[in-house]
Amino acid sequence: MKQPEFGVYVHVPFCASRCDYCAFATWTDRHHLIGDYLAACVTQARAAVEGGLGPVTSVFVGGGTPNLVPAIDLFAVLDELPIVEGAEVTIECNPDEVDLAQMKTYVEHRVTRISLGVQSMVPAVLATLGRVHDPENVRRAVDAARQAGIDRLNLDLIYGAVGESLDDWQTSLAEALKLRPDHVSAYALTVEPGTPLADDPDRHPDDDVQADKYILADEMLTDAGLANYEISNWAKSGQECQHNLLYWRQGEYLGLGVAAHSHIDGRRFWSVRTPERFVSAIAKGQSTEAGSETLDPEARVLEALQLSIRTNRGVPASVVPEEVSHLVLVDEAGTARLTRDGRLLANEVAVRLEPRGE
C-alpha cells in the first residue's frame, strides 16, 4: 500500500549576507544563536514525534542558508524524525558555502536532493542582485554535490535584475543548463515590501520584459528536456519536487523553526518570526505558534483549484469561466491547463475560477 504523504519543512534563518530583494525570515547578525536554535528545533521535532507524528515522506530544509550551519546540528533535528526509506530529502544551499566534505556528510545522512541558489550566471547581474558568489562557485558546488553522489539537483534562477538584458538571461539559462540540472526553478524578481529593492523604483522590473524572459526560459528549458510542471518550475520526467507537489495538492506537513507553516488535520498554523522568541518559547515549554486558520469547505475547494491551475495537473474545464477560456487548453478528459500565455496571467485566471458544483 502506498504510504500516505506527510512532509516536514525545517527553516534555517541565518545567512552570511542579506540580498536586498529578499523578504524571507533570515538574519546575518544572529549566528551566535545557531546552536540554541537548532537545539530548540530538536526539542520541537521530538515533541511532535511524541505527539504522534506519522511517517515522513518528504523533507525540505530551507532558509536562509541551511548549509551555513554545522551539519551535525542540522542532522540532530532530522534524526528525530520518522523519515521513510526512499524519502525525498532536499537541502537548500548557497554555492559559496558548499564543499565536498559537506556534501559527503549530507549523503551519509540520506539527503537525496540539493537546491542551489544560483540566481544568475552573469557576474554583473549577480552584483546588481547583491549576491556575493560568482558563477565559478556555482560550478564548483555542482561538482562537489555530484562527486558526493547527489544526483538530484535543482538550480534556482531569478530574472529581472536591473541592467539584466535578454542576452544576459539567455547566458544564465545556457550556463545553468550546461550543469545538467534535473530541475530548474526560474523566478520573476518580485518586489517585496520592506526590502531595499522596494525603496528603489529605478530597479523595479518591467512587466513586458519579464514576460519575454519567461517565454525564453520556457523555450530553453523545454528544449533541454525539462518540462514545466508549475508556473516557475521545470523538471525532467520523474524529478519533480515531491515536497512542493505536496504543498500544491493541499497535503499535510509540519514546519519546524521560525516562520514555518504547518497544515495538519485541515488546520494551518505558523510559528513566531524571530529566533530569540522561538528559542525562548521552546525553553519555557510554551507554544511557538503565532497564528492559525482553518478554511471552511468552500474556501478549501477554491484554494485547491487555484493551486492546481498553477500546475500541470490543471482543473476541470467546467470551473474555467468563458472570459479566460482562451488562456487554457482542454484535453479529451475535460481537464483545462494553462497555455504559456495563460501561465503569464495565472493569477488573473485563478481569481476567476468558479468552483460551484465541484
Ligand X SMILES: C[S@@+](CC[C@H](N)C(=O)[O-])C[C@H]1O[C@@H](n2cnc3c(N)ncnc32)[C@H](O)[C@@H]1O
Q: Which secondary structure element, helix H or strand E, spans residue 330, and what is its range?
A: strand 328-330
Among 217, 221, 228, 115, residue whose Cα is nearest residue 160: 217
For Cα atoms 325, 160, 201, give the angle at the middle one, nearest 5 degrees. Answer: 105
Nearer to ligand X, 192 or 200 (CB): 192
Q: How far apart are CA 89 and CA 9, in angstroms?
A: 10
Residue 18 interface partner, choices ligand X, ligand SF4, none, CB cut-off 5-8 Å depending on type: ligand SF4
Q: Report in angstroms how near the CB of residue 28 gets to ligand X at its nearest.
A: 11
Q: Interface with ligand X by CB under 6 A: which range of 21-29, 71-79, 261-269, 343-351?
A: 21-29
CB of 64 vs ligand SF4, minimal distance in Å:
5
For residue 196, what is its C-alpha cell?
531595499
Q: Which of the listed partners (ligand X, ligand SF4, none) does 278 bind, with a CB threshold of 5 to 8 Å by partner kind?
A: none
Can you read off the three cell numbers belonging to residue 134? 560568482
Residue 65 within binding range of ligand X, rule CB under 6 A: yes
Q: Which stretch binds ligand X (CB under 6 A): 182-190, 240-248, 277-285, 301-309?
A: 182-190
* Dihedral sign computed on CA atoms, order 91, 97, 99, 101: negative
Q: What region, left, alpha or beta, does residue 157 occupy, with left being phi > 0 and alpha being psi -120 to 50 degrees?
A: beta
- 117, 205, 275, 342: which one binds ligand X (CB under 6 A): 117
Which of 10, 48, 122, 158 forms a contact with ligand X (CB under 6 A)? 158
Q: Which residue is nearest to ligand SF4 (CB)?
A: 22
DSSP state of 20: T
**Could you give the CA distance from residue 358 to residue 354 in angstroms, rounded to a whole number?**
9
First-to-last alpha carbon distance for the chain, in angstroms, is 28
Residue of the chain from 24, 27, 248, 270 that contacts ligand X (CB under 6 A)? 24
Of these partners, ligand X, ligand SF4, none, which one is at the site of residue 89 (CB under 5 to 8 Å by kind)? none
Nearer to ligand SF4, 22 or 215 (CB): 22
Question: Where on the chain is the footprint of ligand X (CB under 6 A)?
Answer: 21-22, 24, 63, 65, 92, 94, 117, 119, 156, 158, 187, 189-190, 192
